[in-house]
Amino acid sequence: MDPHVNPEEQHMAPPLSRRTLLQSAILAAAVPGIGGGVVAAASAVTLPPPAAWTLRPFPLDTVKLGSGIFAGKRQLMLDHARGYDVNRLLQVFRANAGLATGGAVAPGGWEGLDGEANGNLRGHYTGHFLTMLSQAYASTGEQAYADKIRTMVGALTEVREALRSDPRMLAVTGKWGGAHENVRGSYQYVDLPAAVLGGAAAITLSVWVKPTHNANWQRAFDFGNNTTRYMYLATRNANGVPRFAITTNGPGGEQALNGTAALPLNQWSHLAVTISGSTGTLYVNGTAVAQNTSMTLNPSVLGTLTNNWLGRSNFSGDPVFAGAFDEFNVWSRALTAAEITSLQTNEAKNSSAGLGNLASYYFFATTGGTFADASGRGLTATLRRTWGGPSHPGFLAAYPETQFIELESMTSGDYTRVWAPYYTAHKILKGLLDAHLATDDARALDLASGMCDWMYSRLSKLPDATLQRMWGIFSSGEFGGIVETIVDLHSITGKAEHLALAKLFDLDKLIDACTANTDILDGLHANQHIPIFTGYVRLYDATGESRYLTAAKNFWGMVIPQRMYGIGGTSTAEFWKARGVIAGTISDTNAETCCAYNLLKLSRMLFFHDQDPKYMDYYERGLYNQVLGSKQDKADAEKPLVTYFIGLKPGHVRDYTPKQGTTCCEGTGMESATKYQDSVYFKKADNSALYVNLYSPSTLTWSEKGVTVTQTTDYPREQGTTLTFSGSRAAFELKLRVPSWAAGGFKVTVNGSAVSGTPAAGSYFTVSRTWQSGDTVRVTIPFRLRVEKALDDPSLQTLFYGPVNLVGRSTSTSYLPVGLYANAALSGDLLPTLTPVSGKPLHYTLGGTEFAPFFEGTEDPTHAYVQRAEPRVVFGNTDSGVVNPARSDGTTLLDEIWAAAPFADKSALVTRVRSVVNAWVAAGLLGQADGEKVVSTAQGATFVP
């Protein structure tokens, strides 16, 4: 299925008309993607809900965020989205298609040719950005976002059309009127006929070039058969200066001429080479800069050559020339110095040299891809792409099809050659689908559907063994959440091929293991596999095949809590370690942010099928901690300011501009920040119940019930929320999530009256009634400070106050020793040991260290985990003077005493102290006298309730 070449020869107009044609060509190319096909903003399109979902989400436009931490973070991202020039994102797509880029500069990092792996992932960020814009438009209704979507969809439509065609001249202003530009990243070159050198012994080659990039070994021209027999003129050699070389014996046999200074970028320079007898001369801008009087080689000894190229090297690793060409002439004699000088101020036809008698190309403006030869020999030149072409129908990317083709024969990963092309395709596909759903732009749907048609045409022809091998390769075979998006698209198109395509991404080894609940995650790349399962859940929805859903549920349980850090993140340096190893993996590369994003999606999707509260407990944990904390709390026009890794190593400082920008995590971070409200409320499929999953200031418009629900709260700075109903009378169950950490005191009132029943932690509390306008529900959720212990080291702990992870702020790079029992409350709340910071909600100090919410996006050095240290037995801030003894497993006397909390009163606590002390004394773990001191200290201490 290699791309095919199907050039169409086109005859050019006479060179005399080139200035007129140039003017019209530049005008036509000035604003690609903006001129035609303008689509007015339209109402959103809704995906048909899967019948298998017992719960349904609400569209983003029906849930409005109120002021609070989510709205504040979101506004930073909305401002970034509104101000960013999307033509920068489109630059890599337009360049790849050989279209004008309007001078736009591609984003850095993974989106540029100079980024990691030469930008082999470029285009993915554009997909993320489209999704962000779509969510921003759906959430706010701001036309600015729809306008940007329209621009991007229009440009991508033009890009796909260009990729399906033979390359065409990109006309720019030249030295003498018109010129052809090779946009960097276009893979284009000019192919000359085999007879171009004419077997001449004496020769002059002359060309005007305007380099736009400083990569070494770009060729002005290269005539050869291979890397043994050739003649080239490089605009930059290894030292950055022009070099001419001719050889019949490879690089070691080159006879060369080297310039003395680099050619300036973005300026026209004239290069000429003459060979006559044993003398070769290199001219730069009319001045002879190098001469070799001992040359034994000339074009006649090379014979007829097969590869005669402008802008391309016979060495495949060399870059294609980036810049413009004007007037390439070849003469069968050595021009004099005076003739070379004449070419500096005149077109060749008006100079003393005249037009080249072997070849002469004006590069006059044309809408085609061929260039007429003015020498009279009729040697028409053709514009081509190094990867062949045109592309297959439906293909759309910011790089050629070659990555997809090469993956099919790979047996191991090498991201410098192939870097997750189907992952990148997923991001683009998702962005287009979201654009269609947000704006009803039919072009976006056509592009998305075409991409799936194209993928099916490739993958359906491959043996299953090839597919299984491909999808198991790190990271070249990574395909992200593409299955989910394909199934979503299928729900719109109804094309059988699209559902069949989704199943071609089955990774059977993984599905089978997870279906059997066999944990094989150790050593796997985390984010390569998490989003796979959102797709498999959607395949279950579409096919009813239970193995997909079973595998997804079991997989979730292998990650949460087995490989989960307290903030909800997972992975170390992108990979999973052995099950249950948390303390043993703490580093500065923990918790890749994409992993949290995708775990939230998976948890949400599983909850639609199975209303197990654990899924939404996790959702709250991941959202309120890692996801919120991954976004820096400041504005930036250039970057979204989102972390890649969130290191949990002591003293780690978060990096909000990772890897020079435009990473996968910055992409998912943009998406997260524009859909914070997507899981606050769900409804039962039959509209008989409303689930309140998150306590977040928001307003829900439930059209089917004619009801508006306004949630007023400053949660998590407030320990509770208020829900106010307006609109029509409506009967339904209100299901309020009781967090698993809410050990006691969860209370609900309706219109001031307590609702009967005992809410259980880790459940949903149901209030069933006919609701009417003015009804008010008050939910009280008392917080308490608690710790969560690392599974493999109970002494390594992270602090939580309600849903909020509290991190120490300290420059120390060692674990902070923290004692929390000193003034623990009878309820078991450890908070009284800490001191509140005045005027700063959720900020506390302990032992001179400030503890603050993880969700605050600062650059303070943080300690997410601390070393629990309770060296002495202390009650109510009264020190017994007794060393706190420990069992062999690390459990201390105080641990065992406080494990029985809450205590009804002080007497109950003292009774517990006496019982535990007696047991420890009997076991020889505590001396009798020390035991009596412990009991008496507890009796004399004053405790917070």
Please give the full DSSP string across 101-127, using - where no structure is assigned.
Answer: -TTPPPPSGGGSTTSGGGGTTTTHHHH
- The residue count for the chain: 945
pTM: 0.93
pLDDT value for 36:
33
Side chain identity, residue 38: V
The one-character DSSP state at 332 is: S
Side chain identity, residue 123: G
Using CA atoms, how far apart are residues 932 and 882, in angstroms rounded to an integer? 10
Helix (H, G, I), strand (E, B) or coil at 632: coil
pLDDT confidence of 43, banded at 50, 70, 90? low
Helix (H, G, I), strand (E, B) or coil at 773: coil
pLDDT for residue 878 is more than 50: yes
Side chain identity, residue 286: G
Is the previous residue joined to 861 through a cis bond, with omega within 30 degrees of 0?
no
Q: Which residues contact 291 (CB under 8 A, 6 or more apart)?
A: 257, 279, 280, 281, 282
pLDDT for residue 20 is more than 60: no
Pairing of strands 866-868, 817-818: parallel
- What angle, rounded to 10 degrees, do the helices at 664-672 and 124-140 form? 10
Using CA atoms, how far apart are residues 823 and 310, in angstroms rounded to an integer? 79
pLDDT value for 389:
87
Using CA atoms, how far apart are residues 134 and 544, in angstroms rounded to an integer? 30
Pairing of strands 230-234, 753-754: unpaired
For the chain, what is the mean pLDDT? Answer: 94
Using CA atoms, how far apart are residues 796 and 566, in angstroms rounded to an integer? 11
The one-character DSSP state at 631 is: B
Instruction: Output 429-432 pairs: Cβ under 8 A, ≥24 positions apart.
Output: 429/127, 429/482, 429/485, 429/486, 429/489, 430/127, 430/130, 430/131, 430/481, 430/485, 431/126, 431/127, 431/128, 431/129, 431/130, 431/131, 431/134, 432/127, 432/130, 432/153, 432/156
What proportions of the chain, in percent to the nearest 5, are helix, strand and coil? 35, 20, 45
pLDDT value for 67:
97
pLDDT value for 326:
97
Average pLDDT over residues 27-44: 38
pLDDT confidence of 242, banded at 50, 70, 90? very high
Lowest mean pLDDT among 173-177, 529-533, 761-765: 173-177
- Element spanning 182, H or E: strand 178-182
pLDDT single digits (tens) 641-665: 999 999 999 999 999 999 989 999 9
Vertex 342, ends 337 and 344: CA angle to 5°?
105
- CB contact at 8 A, 187 and 243: no
> What is the layout of strands, in order, in the sheet containing 55-57?
55-57, 681-684, 689-692, 730-738, 763-771
Vertex 578, ends 572 and 581: CA angle to 5°?
70
- Position with higher pLDDT, 538 vs 9: 538
Give backbone dihedrals phi and psi of 710, rounded to 5 degrees, phi first.
Answer: -110, 120
Using CA atoms, how far apart are residues 757 and 905, in angstroms rounded to an integer? 24
Pairing of strands 370-371, 381-385: antiparallel
Lowest mean pLDDT among 41-45, 153-157, 453-457, 820-824: 41-45
pLDDT confidence of 364, banded at 50, 70, 90? confident
**171-385, CATH topology level:** Jelly Rolls (2.60.120)
pLDDT single digits (tens) 324-354: 999 999 999 999 999 999 999 999 999 999 9
pLDDT value for 19:
32
Tokens representing 539?
A: 């395949």
Average pLDDT over residues 212-221: 97
pLDDT value for 229:
98
pLDDT single digits (tens) 598-654: 999 999 999 999 999 999 999 999 999 999 999 999 999 999 999 999 999 999 999
Average pLDDT over residues 16-30: 33
In a 10 Å sphere around its CB, with 0-12 CB exposed, 13-18 middle and 19+ buried, how is residue 136 labelled? buried
- What angle, rounded to 10 degrees, do the helices at 508-515 and 546-559 form? 80
pLDDT single digits (tens) 160-196: 999 999 999 999 999 998 999 999 999 999 999 999 9
Helix (H, G, I), strand (E, B) or coil at 799: strand
Q: Which residues contact 175 (CB under 8 A, 6 or more apart)?
A: 208, 210, 268, 270, 326, 327
- CB contact at 8 A, 727 and 706: yes
pLDDT confidence of 303, banded at 50, 70, 90? very high
Nearest partner of 396 among 92, 773, 693, judged by Cα: 92
Q: Write the CA distances from 242 to 256, 294, 297, integer angstroms.
A: 10, 20, 19
pLDDT value for 810:
98
- CB contact at 8 A, 223 and 305: yes
- CB contact at 8 A, 727 and 709: no
The one-character DSSP state at 318 is: S
pLDDT for residue 30 is more than 70: no
Vertex 672, ends 547 and 422: CA angle to 5°?
55
Architecture of domain 681-715+720-780: Sandwich (2.60)
Q: Which residues contact 424 (CB under 8 A, 6 or more apart)?
A: 121, 122, 123, 124, 127, 397, 398
Per CATH, is 55-159+393-672 categorized as 1.25.10? no
pLDDT single digits (tens) 685-742: 999 999 999 999 999 999 999 999 999 999 999 999 999 999 999 999 999 999 999 9
Tokens representing 411?
A: 């047996």
- Domain borders along the chain are 55-159+393-672, 171-385, 681-715+720-780, 885-945
Burial state string for 632-645 with b = 16 or more CB within 10 A and e = fewer than 16: bbeeeeebbbbbbb
Instruction: Measure CA of the first residue to CA of the last residue in the chain; give whole Å.
Output: 73
Tokens representing 513?
A: 């293991």
